[in-house]
Amino acid sequence: MSVVVEYTSILDFIGFNSYSLMDNQYYPFLDEYNLPYAISYGLWKIIGGTIAWLINLIFPGNPVSEWLMGDGASTLFALIIFMLIIFIVVFVCTLISLWMERKCLGRMMDRRGTMIGMKGFLQCVADGLKTFMKENTIPGKVDRMTYMWTVSLVIGVSVLVACMIPLSGRWFVVNYDTGLLIVMAFFALAPFFILVSGWAQNNKYSLVGGMRAAQLMISYEVPMLIMIATTALLAGSFNIGDIVYAQNDNVWYFIPQIVGFITFFFCATAESERLPFDIAEAEAELVEGWQTEYAGMKWGLIMLADYFRGYVACAMVTIMYLGGWTLPIIGDGPIPEIVFLLKTWFVFFLMILVRAALARVRPDQILNIGWKVFMPLSVVNLAIVLLLKVGGVF
Amino acid sequence: MTIKYLDKYPKNLAKSLWVLKPQWTVLKLFAKTVVHRPVTVLYPYEKEWVPENYRGRPGLIFDKCVGCGMCARMCPTACIKLVDAEDDNGKTVKRPQVNLGRCAMCGYCAEYCPVDAMTVTPEYELAEFTRFDLIYGPRRLNYEGTTEGMKVKLEVTLPSDIENGNPERRVSLFDLDRPELIDSKCIGCKKCAKVCPVNAIEMVEKGVNEKTGKPILRPVIDNGKCICCSNCVDDCPKDALEIKEVL
Amino acid sequence: MDTEAVYQKPSEEEVKTLLTEKFPFIEVTGTEPRRVYAKLPKENVLEVCKYIQHNLTFEHCSTVIGVDYVDHMTVVYHLSNYWNGLMIELSADLPLDDLHVESVSGVWEGANWHERETWELFGIVFDNHPRLERLLTPKTYEFFPFRKSYKLRGSE
Amino acid sequence: MTDSIVPVKEIEEKMETDKMWIIMGPQHPFSHGLWTLKIKVDGEIVVDADPIVGYLHRGWEKETENRTYPKIIPMADRLCYAASMTYTHLYCMTVEKALGIDIPEKAKYIRIVADEVCRINSHLMWLAAVGTDLGNLTVFLWAMREREYFLDLNVKLCGARMTTNYPRIGGVRNDLTELFERDVIRTVDRFEKALWDIIALMDDSSIIVSRMKGISYISREQCANIGMTGPAMRGCGVDFDIRRDDPYDNYDKVDFEVPVLTAGDSYARYMIRIEEMFQSCDIIRQAVQKIQALGKNAPYRIKTPTKVPAGTHFMRMEDPRGESLMYLVSDGTDKPYRLKVRSPIFTNVSTSKVMCQGCRIADVPAILAQIDMCLGETDR
Count of domains observed in chain D: 1
How much is the average pLDDT of D98-106?
87
Question: Which chain D positions have a beta carbon within 8 Å of A364's beta carbon?
Answer: 44, 360
Q: What are the counts of helices (DSSP H) followed by strands (DSSP E) for chain C?
A: 3, 7
Which of B19, B38, B42 shows the shortest C-beta gap to A110? B38
**Maximum separation of any 2 CA atoms in chain C, in Å:** 59
Sheet harboring D20-24: ordered strands across? Answer: D20-24, D36-42, D45-52
**B21 touching D (Cβ < 8 Å):** yes
Would the pLDDT of D2 be above 60?
no
Q: Quick check: is C5 in a domain?
A: no
Which chain A residue is nearest to residue D145, measuring alpha carbons? A110
**A362 touching B (Cβ < 8 Å):** no
Q: What are phi and psi of D225, to 5 degrees?
A: -75, -40
Confidence at residue D11, expressed as pLDDT on a 0 to 100 scale? 66
Which of B19, B26, B39 shows the shortest C-beta gap to A108? B26
Confidence at residue B174, expressed as pLDDT on a 0 to 100 scale? 67
Confidence at residue A342, expressed as pLDDT on a 0 to 100 scale? 92
Residue pLDDT, tens place only, D184-211: 999 999 999 989 988 888 888 888 888 8
Tell me the percentage of chain D whose pLDDT exceeds 70: 96
B-D Cβ pairs (cutoff 8 Å, strict): 139
Same domain for A17 and A158, yes or no, is no
Contact at CB, A357 and D205, closer than 8 angstroms: yes
Residue pLDDT, tens place only, A280-301: 887 778 888 888 888 888 888 8
Contact at CB, A357 and D28, closer than 8 angstroms: no
β strands within chain A, DSSP E: none
- The β-bridge relationship of strands C125-127 and C100-102 is parallel
**In angstroms, rounded to a whole number, what is the distance separating the alpha carbons of residues B211 and A75?**
124
Q: Among D117, D160, D83, which residue's Cα sits nearest to residue D321? A: D83
Q: Among A107, C146, C80, which residue's Cα sits nearest to residue D229? A: C80
State chain D's mean pLDDT as an integer.
86
Question: Which chain D positions have a beta carbon within 8 Å of B26's beta carbon?
Answer: 138, 201
Contact at CB, D136 and A358, closer than 8 angstroms: yes
**In angstroms, rounded to a whole number, what is the distance separating the alpha carbons of residues D76 and D343?**
12
Residue D378, C-beta contacts closer than 8 angstroms, at least 6 positions apart: D33, D35, D53, D56, D343, D345, D346, D349
CA distance C1 to chain D (A): 26
Domain carrying residue C28? 12-111
Would the pLDDT of A15 be above 80?
no
Same domain for A323 and A188, yes or no, is yes
CA distance A110 to chain B (A): 5
Question: Which chain D positions have a beta carbon within 8 Å of A277's beta carbon?
Answer: none
Chains contacting A with at least 3 CB pairs below 8 Å? B, D
Q: Which residues of D touch C (CB under 8 A)?
A: 53-54, 57, 59, 61-63, 66, 221, 224-229, 238-240, 242, 245-246, 312, 314, 316, 323, 325, 327, 329, 337-338, 340, 342, 346-347, 350-351, 379-380
How much is the average pLDDT of D331-340?
88
End-to-end CA distance of chain D: 64
**In angstroms, rounded to a whole number, what is the distance separating the alpha carbons of residues D191 and D145?**
10
**In angstroms, rounded to a whole number, what is the distance separating the alpha carbons of residues A148 and A137?**
12
Length of chain D: 380
**In angstroms, rounded to a whole number, what is the distance separating the alpha carbons of residues A104 and D364?**
30
Contact at CB, D197 and B29, closer than 8 angstroms: yes
Count of domains observed in chain C: 1
Q: D263 in helix, strand or coil?
A: coil
Question: Which chain D positions have a beta carbon within 8 Å of C137's beta carbon?
Answer: 54, 57
Contact at CB, B30 and A107, closer than 8 angstroms: yes
Residue A350's pLDDT band, with cuts at 50, 70 and 90, is very high
CA distance D177 to chain C (A): 35
Our answer on whether A and C touch (3+ beta-carbon pairs < 8 Å) is no
Confidence at residue A2, expressed as pLDDT on a 0 to 100 scale? 53
Residue A18's pLDDT band, with cuts at 50, 70 and 90, is low
- Chain B (2-31) residues lying within 8 Å, Cβ to Cβ, of chain A: 19, 22-23, 25-27, 29-30
Q: D99, D191, D203, D296: which to substitute to probe chain B, counting the most B Cβ within 10 Å?
A: D203
Q: Among D181, D146, D190, which residue's Cα sits nearest to residue D285? A: D181
Each domain of chain B, given as residue ranges in start order, spans 58-153, 175-244
Residue B199, C-beta contacts closer than 8 angstroms, at least 6 positions apart: B193, B225
Residue D63's pLDDT band, with cuts at 50, 70 and 90, is confident
**CATH fold match for the domains B58-153 and B175-244:** yes
Helix crossing, D137-158 with A336-357: angle to 10°?
Answer: 60
Question: Which chain B positions have a beta carbon within 8 Å of D77's beta carbon?
Answer: 106
Length of chain A: 394
**In angstroms, rounded to a whole number, what is the distance separating the alpha carbons of residues B156 and D68?**
19
Contact at CB, D301 and B50, closer than 8 angstroms: no
Q: Quick check: is C87 in a domain?
A: yes
Same domain for A242 and A316, yes or no, is yes
User: Residue D317 in contact with residue D230, Cβ under 8 Å?
Assistant: no
Residue pLDDT, tens place only, D32-53: 888 888 888 887 888 888 888 8
Residue D7's pLDDT band, with cuts at 50, 70 and 90, is low
Would the pLDDT of A125 be above 50?
yes
Which fold, B58-153? Alpha-Beta Plaits (3.30.70)
Confidence at residue D237, expressed as pLDDT on a 0 to 100 scale? 87
How far is the CA of D166 from the CAs of A315, B122, B124, B223, D114, in angstroms?
58, 17, 19, 31, 9
D47 CB-side CA count, 13 A: 9
Q: Among A216, A213, A208, A203, which residue's Cα sits nearest to residue A295? A: A203
Would the pLDDT of B192 be above 90?
no
Contact at CB, A287 and D20, closer than 8 angstroms: no
CA distance D94 to chain C (A): 14
How far is the CA of A181 from the CAs of A184, B201, D42, D360, in angstroms?
5, 99, 38, 36
Residue A342, C-beta contacts closer than 8 angstroms, at least 6 positions apart: none
Q: A100, A102, A105, A108: which to substitute to probe chain B, counting the most B Cβ within 10 Å?
A: A108
Confidence at residue A19, expressed as pLDDT on a 0 to 100 scale? 61
How much is the average pLDDT of A108-113?
87
Question: Which chain D positions have a beta carbon within 8 Å of B170's beta carbon?
Answer: 299
Range in A64-78, A91-105, B91-105 the model is least confident about: A64-78
More confident residue, D13 or C134: C134
Confidence at residue D1, expressed as pLDDT on a 0 to 100 scale? 41
Residue C156's pLDDT band, with cuts at 50, 70 and 90, is very low
Which of D200, D203, D278 shows the shortest C-beta gap to B4? D278
Q: A360, A367, A372, A373: which to substitute to probe chain D, counting the most D Cβ within 10 Å?
A: A360
Burial class (CB in 10 A: 0-12, 13-18, 19+), C138: exposed
How far is the CA of D12 from the CAs of A100, B85, D43, D284, in angstroms?
49, 81, 12, 57
Residue pLDDT, tens place only, A197-252: 888 888 888 888 888 888 888 888 889 889 988 988 888 888 888 888 888 888 88
DSSP letter assigned to residue D175:
P
How far is the CA of B55 from the CAs of B48, B121, B142, B234, in angstroms?
14, 6, 15, 30
**In angstroms, rounded to a whole number, what is the distance separating the alpha carbons of residues D176 and D167?**
12
**In angstroms, rounded to a whole number, what is the distance separating the alpha carbons of residues D132 and A360?**
10
Burial B156-188 (b: 16+ CB within 10 A, else e): bbbbebbeeeebeebebbbbbbebebeeeebeb
User: Residue A164 in contact with residue A178, Cβ under 8 Å?
Assistant: no
CA distance C3 to chain D (A): 23
A-D Cβ pairs (cutoff 8 Å, strict): 80
Would the pLDDT of D13 be above 70?
no
CA distance B69 to chain A (A): 47
Which chain B residue is nearest to residue D235, measuring alpha carbons? B6
Q: C35, C49, C74, C80: which to substitute to probe chain D, counting the most D Cβ within 10 Å?
A: C80
Tell me the pTM.
0.89
Which CATH number goes with the domain that contains D147?
1.10.645.10
Tell me the percentage of chain A whose pLDDT exceeds 90: 13
Question: Which chain D positions have a beta carbon within 8 Å of B156's beta carbon?
Answer: 170-171, 301-303
Confidence at residue A376, expressed as pLDDT on a 0 to 100 scale? 92
Same domain for A227 and A363, yes or no, is yes
End-to-end CA distance of chain C: 55
How much is the average pLDDT of D167-177?
86
Which fold, B175-244? Alpha-Beta Plaits (3.30.70)
Helix crossing, D105-134 with D137-158: angle to 10°?
Answer: 160
**A111 touching B (Cβ < 8 Å):** yes
Question: Which chain B positions have a beta carbon within 8 Å of A356's beta carbon?
Answer: 26
Which chain D residue is nearest to residue C63, measuring alpha carbons? D342
Residue pLDDT, tens place only, B106-141: 888 888 888 888 888 888 888 889 988 888 888 888
Q: Quick check: is A160 in a domain?
A: yes
Domain carrying residue A30? 10-87
How much is the average pLDDT of A76-100?
90
Burial class (CB in 10 A: 0-12, 13-18, 19+), A262: middle
Same domain for A190 and A277, yes or no, is yes
What residues form DSSP beta bridges with A10? none
**In angstroms, rounded to a whole number, what is the distance separating the alpha carbons of residues D36 and D290?**
45
Q: Quick check: is C90 in a domain?
A: yes
Residue pLDDT, tens place only, A33-44: 888 888 888 888
Same domain for A225 and A318, yes or no, is yes
Q: Quick check: is D242 in a domain?
A: yes
β strands within C5-149, DSSP E: 27-32, 35-39, 60-68, 72-80, 87-95, 100-102, 125-127
Q: D35 in helix, strand or coil?
A: coil
More confident residue, B220 or D195: D195
**In angstroms, rounded to a whole number, what is the distance separating the alpha carbons of residues B83 and B67?**
9
Confidence at residue D16, expressed as pLDDT on a 0 to 100 scale? 67
**In angstroms, rounded to a whole number, what is the distance separating the alpha carbons of residues D71 and D59?**
16
CA distance B33 to chain D (A): 13
Same domain for A153 and A50, yes or no, is no
Domain carrying residue D136? 66-344
Confidence at residue A88, expressed as pLDDT on a 0 to 100 scale? 92
Residue pLDDT, tens place only, C73-99: 899 999 888 888 888 888 888 888 888
